Amino acid sequence: MHLATHVLAGWCLGNLLRLGKKERTWCIAASVLPDVDGLGLLAGVRAYQTYHHVLAHNLTLGLVATVGFARLARCSLKGAATFFALFHLHLVMDLFGSGPGWGIAYLWPWSDQMVYSAHAWSFLSWQNGVAFLGFAGWTVAIARACRRTPLECFAPRFDRQVVNLLARKADRPKGLTIGPIEADAEPRSSDKPATRNGGSKREAATAGGGGEFFK
For residue 78, give every residue at least 6 positions away whose Cβ sits within 8 Å of its Cβ, in sequence order, or none: 17, 19
Other CB atoms closer than 10 Å to residue 113's CB: what's the count? 10
User: Do 60 and 162 belong to one domain?
Assistant: yes
User: Do 37 and 134 belong to one domain?
Assistant: yes
- pLDDT tens over the chain, length 215 residues: 899 999 999 999 999 999 999 999 999 999 999 999 999 999 999 999 899 999 999 999 999 999 999 999 999 899 999 999 999 999 999 999 999 999 999 999 999 999 999 999 999 999 999 999 999 999 999 999 999 999 999 898 999 999 998 888 776 655 544 444 444 445 545 444 544 444 444 443 444 444 443 34
User: Do 19 and 123 belong to one domain?
Assistant: yes
Residues in a beta bridge with 104: 115
- Cα 206 to Cα 214: distance, rounded to the nearest angstrom: 10
Q: Report the run of H or E that residue 29 belongs to, with start and end.
A: helix 21-32
User: Do 142 and 202 belong to one domain?
Assistant: no
Domains in the chain, number: 2
Tell which residue, 129, 128, 120, 123, has the closest CA to residue 100: 120
User: Do 124 and 199 belong to one domain?
Assistant: no
Distance of CA 83 to the CA centre of its chain: 18
The range of the structural domain enclosing residue 190 comes to 177-215
User: Do 73 and 48 belong to one domain?
Assistant: yes
Residues in a beta bridge with 115: 104
- Cα 153 to Cα 66: distance, rounded to the nearest angstrom: 19
User: Do 148 and 191 belong to one domain?
Assistant: no
User: Do 189 and 142 belong to one domain?
Assistant: no
User: Do 108 and 184 belong to one domain?
Assistant: no
User: Do 104 and 192 belong to one domain?
Assistant: no
- Cα 186 to Cα 90: distance, rounded to the nearest angstrom: 69
What's the predicted TM-score (pTM) here?
A: 0.77
User: Do 109 and 199 belong to one domain?
Assistant: no
